[in-house]
Chains A and B, each alone.
Chain A
Amino acid sequence: MTTTIEIDHRNADHGGDPDEGPLYFARRKIQPIAVHGRFRRIKTVLLLVTLGIYYLLPFVRWDRGADAPGQAVLIDFPARRFYFFFVEIWPQEFYYVTGLLILAALALFLMNAVAGRIWCGYLCPQTVWTDLFLGVERMVEGDRRARLLLDAAPWSAEKLAKRTAKHGIWLLIAWWTGGAWVLYFADAPTLVAELATGTAPLVAYGWIAVLTGTTYFLAGHMREQVCTYMCPWPRIQAALTDEHALNVTYRYDRGEPRMSFKKATAARAAAQPAGDCVDCGQCVAACPTGVDIRAGLQLDCIQCGLCIDACDAVMEKVGRPTALIAYDTELNVRARIEGRPEVRRIVRPRTVLYAALIVAVGAVMLTALATRTTTDVAVIHDRNPVFVRLSDGGVRNGYTLRLVNKTTAAAQLRIVVGGLPGVGVEVIGAETLDGVPVVTVGRDQTREMRMVLSLHAEAAATVALDQVVPITVAVENLTTGEQATAGDNFRTR
């Protein structure tokens, strides 16, 4: 016997439960209103500073001598060097960059523990470029109301002109953003001249095109969707925050019950409770991610502080105290409601730990940088043949030496082999000084040399053959006196 169960999915009712709605919402375009105030000024200054650094840093010069690049910050892939002012990093020293990334992560954690999403709200490139693109949009198409009307209006010559101007300026900024990016990888003035005359390498044009595209789409079209849907940081930071971290907070102890200004005035006259929030919606209109801060902390909120400015302007107009929305904690809002004293704890185990870690990692990195060696040697024993019998019955071993000179002048490196008395040392192609091989290595270069150790019969008698003898290869820079040592073996079997 069979039972047939028929389910008509199309007629299932999703209306009642908010969790059962469709999984996809079409994006509601956000048209934030312009605000003026303290946080807008801070954001503008940070925008100018960060973009100024990004666009102009490649042109900053730094003298490193005649044969070295004169650019302060340069990632030189063909020569495999990274220059940052007085620091020069070789590929094998990439751990400095790892250290820098650890510092950056810890700084992010500390910022988050002190005052929430400072990074998201003020410093993140996505926020900064979106802010810049919004500014352009506002300049060309007007403020929120004008833009909403323009969106709704049918196509006309004016609308076409405004749209063309907006997208044109956006593309120009995006193009210059991509252009500035490639300048970090080659001598900036030279590359600018090459780009202008069409003689730059193809890869430069390729990268400019890619970054023009990403900047235009991320800052012009995707905007808050990057923060809400693409970025992992909102999810991570939610796990790193605690009840003492300052966040952009709607002080509902003061704001509720919200009502219109007229009703609030009447209520206060009648000694009825009335909140300061006049429910004008300016905080929502000003928000670049389109959230209502009065709903509390939420994932979409990047905590840029623009709703604080918007609300303060309204509070001044209606004659109520400002800072209805402010950097505060949920803990303090509840404390005020319950009549307990407010608690402000910047110094707490979490922030102390992050700060201590930053200091420790920074100290390790500075020490590593200060004690960075400029002379180095690596030794590789021949794999085939492992050893060779000489005509007098002695033994010969072959090695490959990699000599490193990180100084800014050509260096003479003297090579001394220890651990094997009486051994004959020959470094192929090297000069000799008092019978000891000396290799000249150019400034900021490495040189590979072949070294042959020959233990002739008389000397071989002093070490028992048929064994593996550990040896050391010591290298001394005759100019600076700096030394480096590497170990290997002399094999007779």
Chain B
Amino acid sequence: MNAHDHKPVDHVTGTETTGHEWDGIRELNTPLPRWWLWSFYASIVFAIGYMVVYPAWPLITGHTAGVIGWSSRGAVASDVAALQAARGDMTAQIDAADLAAIRTDPTLQAFAMAQGRTTFLDNCAGCHGAGGGGAKGYPNLNDDDWLWGGSLEAIETTIRHGIRSADPDTRITDMPAFGRDGLLERADITAVARFVRSLSGQEVPDGTDLAAGAQVFADNCAACHGDDGKGNRDVGAPDLTDAIWLFGSDESSIAAGVTNGRASVMPAWGGRFDDATVKSLVVYVHAFGGGE
């Protein structure tokens, strides 16, 4: 090593300087730490390898594919396939079992409740609430009042085909818009709304002529809701004598229903889920507590 290889050393810090000097101030030579530099080089090498192996560069109509052909879509597809393979045995068992058996067999029940829960939260909770508590216009699945029936089979039909959906086998009926379409006068509507309130023992204004309302009910409503107002599940007509009101029990809510009709829609899920998922969902919904 030659003597002039040594740069002058700063006395205060003991560090060698670059030899540059500005007005008596000299620049200390403190290069990047060696470990840092090597990590930097290593990451450059890694980045080049990464660009070769994985999709990296955008092209005009696409992108470089990378030599191993990895894609995020492909990764999802293989994850889903792996999940289906892992579930395969249980899915087959759920497919083969009838709904009542799934409900009482500990293994099938545990699987169906878990699968039903995630399916419900992903697809149903938006309208029916996370716990199936419902909202105005969206039925509560925990109570004992069902529009179309609360047996396992009835729930399965509703889920598969929906209500007033695009499915050819959908559950469908229409409550006429008695007021809007001019079928009933405003006074008749008020009378029948008050009469309907009286069916479930709710208060009506003093001096209300319930007989007039009863006559309107018998002429227009009883065909679906029944002479006693107890409803008809075959046509999804709600029981008007109980304490549960999907759209509210006050006079104006009832009158609004009579005036404009009610036609809530639930999508058909049969085409979106496989059979095992539908059955799990049926068992899960049935287990909210309202199942019959």
Contacts and interface: CB of A to CB of B under 8 A. Distances in A.
Interface in A413-471: 426, 428-429, 431, 440, 442, 447-448, 450, 452, 454
B106 A440 contact: yes
B48 interface: no
A8 B113 CA distance: 78
B144 A384 contact: no
Given A10-B14, A440-B106, A454-B289, A398 B243 contact: no
A448 B142 contact: no
Nearest to B105: A429
Contacts of A393: 243
Given A385-B140, A448-B110, A450-B287, A390 B133 contact: no
Interface string B3-14: 000000001101
A382 interface: yes
A398 B244 contact: no
Given A429-B104, A440-B106, A447-B110, A391 B243 contact: yes
A6 interface: yes
Contacts of B14: 9-10
Contacts of A398: 131, 142, 288-289
B142 A385 contact: yes
Contacts of B156: none
Nearest to B107: A442
A303 B291 CA distance: 73
Contact of A384 (B129, B242, B244): B129
Contact of A442 (B106, B142, B239, B289): B106
Interface string A236-252: 00000000000000000
A451 to B, nearest CB: 9
Given A6-B12, A10-B14, A384 B130 contact: yes
Contacts of A442: 106
Interface string A43-59: 00000000000000000
Contacts of B12: 6-7
B251 interface: no
Contacts of B142: 385, 388, 396, 398
Interface residues of B, number: 28
A413 to B, nearest CB: 12
Contact of A390 (B129, B131, B243): B243
Interface string A381-417: 0111100111111001010000000000000000000
Contact of A383 (B131, B242, B287): B131
Nearest to B146: A391
A6 B131 contact: no
A388 B140 contact: yes
Nearest to A395: B143
Interface in A1-49: 6-10
Contacts of A429: 103-104, 106, 109, 287
A386 B113 CA distance: 20
B143 A389 contact: yes
Most buried by B among A6, A390, A392, A431: A390
Most buried by B among A8, A426, A429: A429
A426 B132 CA distance: 18
Contacts of B243: 389-393
B289 A426 contact: yes
Contacts of B244: 389-391
Most buried by B among A6, A391, A392, A431: A391
Nearest to A430: B104
Nearest to A382: B131
Nearest to B245: A389
A7 B13 CA distance: 9
A476 B109 CA distance: 22
A447 B113 CA distance: 12
A383 B289 CA distance: 15
Contact of A428 (B103, B130, B145, B239): B103
A390 B143 contact: yes
Contacts of A385: 129, 131-133, 140, 142
B131 A384 contact: yes
Contacts of A440: 106
Given A428-B103, A428-B287, A429-B103, A392 B242 contact: yes
A69 to B, nearest CB: 21
A457 to B, nearest CB: 9
Nearest to A453: B289
Most buried by A among B106, B143, B144, B289: B289
Interface string B81-124: 00000000000000000000001101001100100000000000
B283 to A, nearest CB: 9
30 contacts: A6-B12, A7-B12, A9-B14, A10-B14, A382-B131, A383-B131, A384-B129, A384-B131, A384-B133, A385-B132, A385-B133, A385-B142, A388-B140, A388-B142, A389-B244, A391-B143, A391-B145, A391-B242, A396-B144, A396-B289, A398-B142, A398-B288, A428-B286, A428-B287, A429-B104, A431-B104, A442-B106, A447-B110, A448-B110, A454-B144
Interface of B: 11-12, 14, 103-104, 106, 109-110, 113, 129-133, 140, 142-145, 239, 242-244, 286-289, 291
Closest 5 CB pairs of A and B: A385-B133, A391-B242, A452-B289, A384-B131, A388-B142
Given A8-B11, A9-B14, A398-B131, 9 more contacts: A384-B133, A385-B140, A396-B143, A398-B289, A431-B104, A450-B113, A450-B287, A452-B289, A454-B289
